[in-house]
Structures are given as structure tokens and as C-alpha cells.
Structure 1
């Protein structure tokens, strides 16, 4: 990696000027890097995938690779409540990366956008979709404008993807091989705008292009025309893909979207291997339900008739272990019934030998549509997980079903504190 990055950085780009009509977004000087990874994100009617995407991105890049990247998130939704909620969660989950200047979050005020009404009709699209598409073009443009002076290259990904481990090294290796060849974008995914790599020197021109034609067509179609203008006649694609779409619902009106990249090679994570544990809860257990079923690996499940904010269900491992993945499934599985819509999962660590709890918890992630399925980042170096806690954060309208709490264990060993 270091050799490829040194070769790639050997020919520095001259800094480019920002677009004069844009608001001053830059609040501090950031270290110059090889790669800025841009992620635009807006509120989705059926839940956000952004935290999962960030989790996947940092889990898939080593500490050595992370020294050469900046992850830039543009929270582009006008809802200040949603933005505040996302900022709070990002700050909690990814604090070390923020402190290391490896993760930056920005927002552009809606008053800085060009008009989003009275559009001409194109391609028989509905007015709502034209407005969505036009705003998306500007979301991307503001993100790219901010990214122009921080690195040699810019990579766009969407807010609902997962990343191949080592993708930074693979991109650096490709850049080294292509350093003396002409290209506008290199493509590391076949999905929309995800995985498109630019020279940062080209971003100001593309930003202007997006603003000139933001009403006319989608950003991906505009990129195709931009290629033609700069004489790249055909896409330059690399296989297998480095990014895969993981969301099931579009950011446009929450419509179902099962788009997948057929060139992405899935990792086989195997079956969960729940180690021996005890289960504790302050939920009211229904007469015909068994608490341990929430942690079993069979088809049984746990049901509670009611729950309140602050209620919990906690798995306490007999022997603390290194947990690589946690999966929590609530609801019936057949319909969106008895799901826990408002809840999150915490990992617990213990240095005082508490019998049925832990004295130190960190947030792993939020339930989205009643489900969490996350790789675990090593935020507590040298310590093993003792507790996995499902915490109810909002009172549900009816009872909830906990079908499975599944754990994948790297190895089990005694904890040291």
C-alpha cells in the first residue's frame, strides 16, 4: 500500500479554487490525502442506512489505509431534527475517526440551492421525481465542491452500500497502474453513482456542469455527457466490484429497491455461533413465552405483550469473547408486525465482575425496520465483549417479537481489564 501511495502522490495536483457563488463551508484546514470518499445522505421514509455504510467503510479499511483517506458526509436533508439525530449517532459511533480528521460531516443550507419548483417536464417524469432528481444533483455538487482541496482523488459512494475489505489498497494499486493514462472517471461499481473515482482537479468543472443542467436529467446521465465532452468514450470499469448496494428502499418516496451489483463478490460469514450465556430482562414475559428463545439458534422466538422506553433484554456471556458480528431480528418475519421500531443495540464490557450486567456500554447501532446486522469495529482494544443489550428507546404501540439475537465469535478467551 505505502509504495503504491507514494507513487500515486509523486505527481501532486495543483489546488483548485472553490466556486465563488457557494457558501463558505470549510471551517478548518485538513491534511492533504490520497483519497476523499464522499457520501451524500438524506432522510429515508423507511429508515437510514448511513451508519451501516460508515461502519462497513471503516471496518473494511485498515489503520494504515485510513491514514490516506478522508470520509466526507454531506447531510443534505432540510430536516434539522433528523440532521441532529444523525450527527449525535455519528459522533457516538465514530468519535475516534472524527478526532483523527478522518471523518468530516457537512451541511449546505437549503437557501443556497437553486430553485426547486416550476420545472420543465422531461422523459415523462413526475414533478415530484424531477424535484428529487434536481435536488440530488445539487447535493452532489455541494459535496464535490467541498472536496476539491483535500486530496488528489475523489471517490463517490452512496449512503446504502457495503465495502470490500482492502478497497483502499485496491484503488491505490489501480491508480498506480493508470497514472500515465488519460481518464475522466474510473468505475469500481456498476451501481449508479457509487464507486466513481475522479481526479479532484476535474471536480470544479463537473460541479459547474451539474448546476448548469441540474433540472435536465439525473447525475449519472449528466456524468455520461461529461465523459463525452472530455473525450472518454467508454466507461472504464474494474471487476469484481468493490461496493454493493445493501438497502432495500430508495431515498425517493421510500420505494422498494432491490438493485444489486452482480460483479460484487459476497463474503460468506457462515452461521452464528452463540456461546453459552444467561439472559436478563425487565420486559414483561408472556405466559406462553420463554426468554431464552430470543438467543436460541432454532426457530423459536420470544414475545412480550408490551414494552416501554428504557426496557432492555440483555445477553450476558458466560465467558467474555471477541464478537465480530451481531444480528438482531425482531417482528414476525412474514409481515411488518410486532417489530421494535425504536431501539438500539449496545455492547457491554466489564472490569468489576458484575454477575448479570456490565459496567461499560457502547452503542453498536440502531434497529432499522426492526433489524440490526452489523460487523463489530474494534473500539475497545484488548477487551472482550461480555454483554449484548437490546434497549427499547420508544414505547411501541403493541407487543414485540424478538426472533433472534445472533453472535459471530472470533474466539473466546478470558477478559483483561
Structure 2
């Protein structure tokens, strides 16, 4: 059956076709590494990966996923990897590398790796020819669609939500918290997919209860067109014709490789257009309730050189506040704590707030809003448009739990319009 956007009875036809689909009854995706969690999680992060002619970014992507998440965030998600290439040599190499590099996450049931034998796949020869492409191109994208389908089929029972990313991405720090916050706000609204990236299948969030329906759809029409086009039609079937897109994007592609066509671009336009360049750090004063260590200079926390500020101890509720001489429209804030060499003296429990002032205070503001929590001692976040309508006067780093040792504040960087 050919999908046509002009048809009005798609949904009913699709539901009837679902009843006759026998393929999934015979699918036997096997676990290569790890074990599913004992209890249901908030989120499953799914990745499907095959060999790439220009090298693999999968290990870097896995590292980015865990490094961009705090220990408290990691309790709420699992990572599910589908090694979808049948080459036994490549499979062996990837199994060995993942087992060695990510052993702690495997032991805590946070990382599961699966494979689906090629005999479970549908026909990959004499496929329908679409878009005037080559048979090799059709076979690759048809198999890729089934790779994703089998991955999602395995993921249906382990969490409330499923996030699809590709195997060559870099994750924004704190992306789990940002997604959880938005999911909470959209919990009672009608949606099929929430988009946290504009790139292919990366950053696409689904309710796991909707996955069986999407899996059937992909397997029914795997020959028709690539998966991203199929996803557009899937949305039309279920009355979500307009993408629900959130900014800034939480994922960015690392590489530019393509199997068949150099015309395909792998950079997120939204990310490229919002590359902030060098920080501005306009003239400001700094105030703190932290104890300044001997020889340390408070202003070093805001300087654009390699100097830093150090305090031997900190208590919950203490702060370091940058007060701008002239309030400005701040569109991005970066806070870096800890030694950049050994990751020591990080502020693990802290948050960053933006301050506004209506009463002309000299060294503080009378109204603060939360910008974000530190993740692994850092925050790097764009200020959303509804917040940036007002001019920011203060940027406050607040300690929310007493750290076990002293902290280093390397940089508080601001970008202004």
C-alpha cells in the first residue's frame, strides 16, 4: 500500500493492517551486554548503530550521555543500544569496547546492548524504488527503518518515555532534567512526539505506550521511504501534523559522514545560527558570602583569562553574585566550577539564577528566577526568549547543599545582545 497525504481514511486502514502483521511474533532480539532494570524508569534512551565508513562515534555518544547527566539524573533513565550490523568482527569489537569502558553502568543496569539476527528482517532485495535512488540506498534505508523498529519494540516495557537519538551526537549538560521538566508540563496534553532536536530521528521523545503502534507503522511501510519521512506521515495519521519543537536543541551531531550522498547535512541549523562565539562579560561587580581563600581574588571568577576563584569551604545558601554595571539582555550563561584537569573541587549541588531589579539596589536584585541546575559542576544554557525580554542585572551562583571540600569557580561567562 502506498502512503498518500491526501487520503482521509489512513488511520482506519492502518489499524486494519496492524491486525495482520505477524512479523513481531517471530522477532528475537537478544541481549549482548547488561540486563534490563528491575523497576520501571522514567526514560529509555535508544540508539541504533551500524558500521560507518568514516569511523564510529558510538562510544563518544555513550560517554556524552553519561557525562552530561548527574548521578541523580542517571537513576531515572537507561540507555538501550541496538548493534544492528551483522558483521561478527565489528560486533565483537563493539561488545569488547563497551564492556570495558562502561562497566559501572552495565553493572547498575543502566546500559543494555542488544542485537537482532538478520533472519528476523523483512525482504531487503527487489525493494520498491522511490525518489530515483539506487538499490543500495533503498536497501540501506529500508534496513535502517527496521533497525529502529526492533529497537523500539524491545524498549516498550522498561520506562514511561522513550527518547531516540542517533549514534553520533553530543548531549547538552542536564538534558535529562530539561526533558523531564517539559514532559511534566505536557503530561496531560495530546501529543505523539516531542522534538528536542531538528536532526533526523535524534531527540524524538515518545510515550512508550505509543511505541507498538509506531513499530507496526515502520514495519508496514519500511519500503516506502526513509524513516524520517515515515515519521511525518505517522504524525498526520494521529493528528499531530505540526512538529512540537523545543529550543535550544539538546543534541548536536559530531560527524558529517553519510553512506550515500554528500548532499545530506548533519548540523542542526538552530545550533549553528545560535553559536554564541566568545563571551561578552560586560563591566560588573561581584559580591559573595563565601569565605575567600588567602591569595584568591574574587573577580577571577568573572575574568576571561585562565585565573580562577577558590574558597576552602562553602555552606548551603551561600552565593556568588555578579551585578552588572548596566542591566543587559543576556541570551546565554555559562558557569564552570572545579579543576579542568582533574575535575576536583566541583560544586555538585548548586544552581544559577537570573536577577532583575525594580528598586535600584546597589549590590543585589529584588527578583530572581531559576535558570538551571549545575550538572557535573557546570551549566551552559541559553536564556529562553520569554525570560530575555527583561534586562538582567544579576547572575547568582547559589550553593544548595554543603560540599565536602572547597570549590573552584573557574568562569562565569555571559553573552549579551
Q: Give the TM-score normalised by the residue count of structure 1.
A: 0.59
Q: Is the 2:41–2:77 contact (alpha carbons within 8 Å) kept by the matching residues of 1?
A: yes
**Counterpart among 193, 208, 215 of residue 201 in structure 2:** 193
What is the match of residue 349 of structure 2?
A: none
Within-5 A mapping of 1:166-185: 166-185=174-193
What is the match of residue 259 of structure 1?
A: 266
1: CA distance between counterparts of 2:132 and 2:58? 31
**SS in structure 2 at match of 1:37:** strand
Within-5 A mapping of 1:12-411: 19-23=24-28, 25=30, 29-30=36-37, 31-250=39-258, 252-253=259-260, 255=262, 258-264=265-271, 322-323=341-342
**SS in structure 1 at match of 2:269:** coil
Q: Which runs of 5 or more structure 2 residues have no equivalent in the other structure? A: 1-22, 280-303, 307-338, 344-375, 378-407, 411-417
**SS in structure 2 at match of 1:123:** coil
**SS in structure 1 at match of 2:270:** coil
Distance 1:83 1:268, change over 3 A: farther
Q: How far is the alpha carbon of 1:92 from its aligned partner?
A: 1.2
**SS in structure 1 at match of 2:126:** coil
Q: How far is the alpha carbon of 1:21 from its aligned partner?
A: 2.9
Q: Which runs of 5 or more structure 1 residues have no equivalent in the other structure? A: 1-17, 274-319, 325-376, 379-409, 413-417
2: CA distance between counterparts of 1:23 and 1:158? 23
Q: How far is the alpha carbon of 1:20 from its aligned partner?
A: 2.1
2: CA distance between counterparts of 1:63 and 1:230? 36
Q: Is the 1:60–1:165 contact (alpha carbons within 8 Å) kept by the matching residues of 2?
A: yes
1: CA distance between counterparts of 2:171 and 2:36? 28
**SS in structure 2 at match of 1:46:** coil
Q: How far is the alpha carbon of 1:81 from its aligned partner?
A: 0.4
| Residues 137-185 of structure 1: CA deviation (Å, up to 9, x unaligned) | 0000000000000000000000001000000000000001001100000
Distance 1:266 1:110, change over 3 A: farther
Q: Is the 1:154–1:199 contact (alpha carbons within 8 Å) kept by the matching residues of 2?
A: yes
2: CA distance between counterparts of 1:245 and 1:272? 29
2: CA distance between counterparts of 1:114 and 1:257? 26
Q: How far is the alpha carbon of 1:87 from its aligned partner?
A: 1.1
Count of residue pairs the alignment pairs up:
265
1: CA distance between counterparts of 2:202 and 2:35? 27
Distance 1:46 1:249, change over 3 A: same
Distance 1:61 1:206, change over 3 A: same
Q: Is the 1:33–1:69 contact (alpha carbons within 8 Å) kept by the matching residues of 2?
A: yes
What is the match of residue 11 of structure 2?
A: none
Q: How far is the alpha carbon of 1:258 from its aligned partner?
A: 4.6
Q: Is the 1:25–1:146 contact (alpha carbons within 8 Å) kept by the matching residues of 2?
A: no
Q: Give the TM-score normalised by the residue count of structure 2.
A: 0.59
Q: Is the 2:193–2:204 contact (alpha carbons within 8 Å) kept by the matching residues of 1?
A: yes
Distance 1:268 1:147, change over 3 A: farther
2: CA distance between counterparts of 1:219 and 1:249? 18
Q: How far is the alpha carbon of 1:125 from its aligned partner?
A: 1.2
What is the match of residue 312 of structure 1?
A: none
What is the match of residue 403 of structure 1?
A: none
Distance 1:159 1:132, change over 3 A: same
Larger of the two Rg values belongs to structure: 2
